[in-house]
Structure 1
Amino acid sequence: MQQIDADAVRWREGERESGEGDLLVVLHGLGSHEGDLFGLAPHLPASLTIASLRAPLPYGGGFAWFDPSPIDTDERARDASAEGVLHWLDGLDRGFERVHLLGFSQGGVMAVQLARLAPERFSSIVHLASFVHDGELPGDAALAARELRIPMLTTIGDLDDVIHRDRIERAAPWLDAHFDVERRTYHRAHSIVAEELADVVAFLERV
């Protein structure tokens, strides 16, 4: 298991009238850090408590969730980081009514990996500019068999030269078979654009 640095987590407390509220766990992309996607926080629904995590592996000037090498097909490396996130969630000193995931690029892979390992724990996924790793995991059947599948917003850019087209095309039918998918395409490269952010906000407000 790869340990998540609890001291590095960036938090925004959600506004709620009662109850424990919902938590949105934010997972950054390759070579980035916990402060990157946390910049979206002012635009996201105020009711959500937001926790932006730092990936556990140093990479370049930032951090990674797993080795991005094309020859890295070891599922255990991704599981180790996902298990670290689950362990971090277990160690929180407060509970939440529901937990949602938002991941960009490699962070999107991790969001799916978390749902594959613990399909009962998550209520929605925002899967931005990302893909899915091949192979089957024990939680995959439970994901597909859920009476109400986990809602997912998955986005791609028609100019994205980081996430290869074959990975996007391979991921689409798998996601459709395991989640309740909304799919959006934007005229962008490997980034997040204003129209996309508006769709993310609308999706989170619905779920």
Structure 2
Amino acid sequence: MADLPLEHVHVAPDDDPENAPGVFVLHGRGADEEDLLPVAQRLPDRLHVVSLRAPDPLQGGYTWYELDLSAGGLEASQPDAAGFRRSLDLVADSVDAAVDEYGLDADRIGLLGFSQGAITSLSLLLEDPDRYAWVAALHGYLADAHGDLEPDGIEGKPVFVGAGAGDRVIPESRSAAAADRFAEVGAAVTRGSYPGGHGIGQRELSDVVAFVESQVAGAE
């Protein structure tokens, strides 16, 4: 494994790894870099997969940031400002390092995140839309700290937003609000609503795989 700012798992493409596209995978709160590998294994095999571990230990797993619950319960939580900023910078630095170390095509990099990883991914896209070719954000929301950003380069950017109709951790309404905001600033938003709770079911997984396949095929 290359030396990145964040611990990670790297899975190289089956063929021609040099200048191949890549996806950076960001897990949810309390999980680790192996949690979403079953999802990543369904993605096109010509992708570099770099699954990152969040920096802070939590209950046998890891977290990207602590929760700010000042607005109410878990369903109204926000990232704590300091921890969120640190993780955003660590992910961005890890992306840059992985491009150099593993030979990824810097113009064909996607982000796939679940829960806290989705929240982090959406914010990274708004901070630097030219850095990422697409984002798949599952069961997340748009952090208030980034809600008013309207960056150049976001227009037409493919964004998949998946939500669970029965999700009691991050209500579907919060994911829908994120999708609405990205549509307002001109991103090409694909939405998915699924009957389950805070997890990735088979129909959602199939839709995510189809979305990523279309991005990879369209860039070739």
Q: 1:32 to 1:18 in 2, by over 3 A?
A: closer
Please say if residues 66 and 80 of structure 2, whose CA atoms lie closer than 8 Å, have aligned partners that are also in contact: no
Equivalent residue number for residue 33 of structure 1: 32
Please say if residues 79 and 113 of structure 1, whose CA atoms lie closer than 8 Å, have aligned partners that are also in contact: no
Deviations, residues 103-143 of structure 1 (Å, cap 9, x unaligned): 001100010121122221000001101111113479x322x
Q: Percent identity?
A: 30
Q: 1:205 to 1:172 in 2, by over 3 A?
A: closer
Mapped pair 1:190 → 2:198: yes
Q: How many residues align?
A: 200
Q: CA separation in 1, counterparts of 2:5 and 2:153? A: 32
TM-score by length of 2: 0.82
TM-score by length of 1: 0.87
Deviation (angstroms), 1:88: 1.5
Q: How does 1:77-116 map to 2 (within 5 A)?
A: 77-92=83-98, 93-97=101-105, 98-116=108-126
- RMSD value over aligned CA atoms? 2.2
Q: 1:117 to 1:76 in 2, by over 3 A?
A: farther
Mapped pair 1:171 → 2:170: no
Please say if residues 5 and 93 of structure 2, whose CA atoms lie closer than 8 Å, have aligned partners that are also in contact: no
Q: How does 1:56-135 map to 2 (within 5 A)?
A: 56-71=55-70, 74-92=80-98, 93-97=101-105, 98-135=108-145
Q: CA separation in 1, counterparts of 2:147 and 2:82? A: 11
Q: CA separation in 1, counterparts of 2:130 and 2:54? A: 23
